[in-house]
Amino acid sequence: MKTYQFKTNIKCGGCIATVTPYLNANNEIKHWSVDTDNKDKILTVETESLSHQAITEIVKKAGYQAEPLT
């Protein structure tokens, strides 16, 4: 299992509601969450096989930005 973290522009509950169907639709994402209390709005994703680029594309399709943290 891999865990990736991203700096995002997902700011509030409404933003989370918008991105939820996109992230939940991918069966390879086992768990995800967004820390909207963090100034960088950190998205954490647990997956067995997706790359950080694939997750970035999913978030982009939902209308948001995700920049991988290292």
> What CA–CA distances, in Å, run from 52 to 12, 13, 28, 37, 59?
22, 23, 12, 22, 11
Structure tokens of 31?
A: 């768990």
DSSP 8-state symbol, 60:
H
Question: Is residue 66 within 8 Å of 54, Cβ to Cβ?
Answer: no
**pLDDT value at position 59?**
97
pLDDT 10s digits, 3-34: 999 999 999 999 999 999 999 999 999 999 99
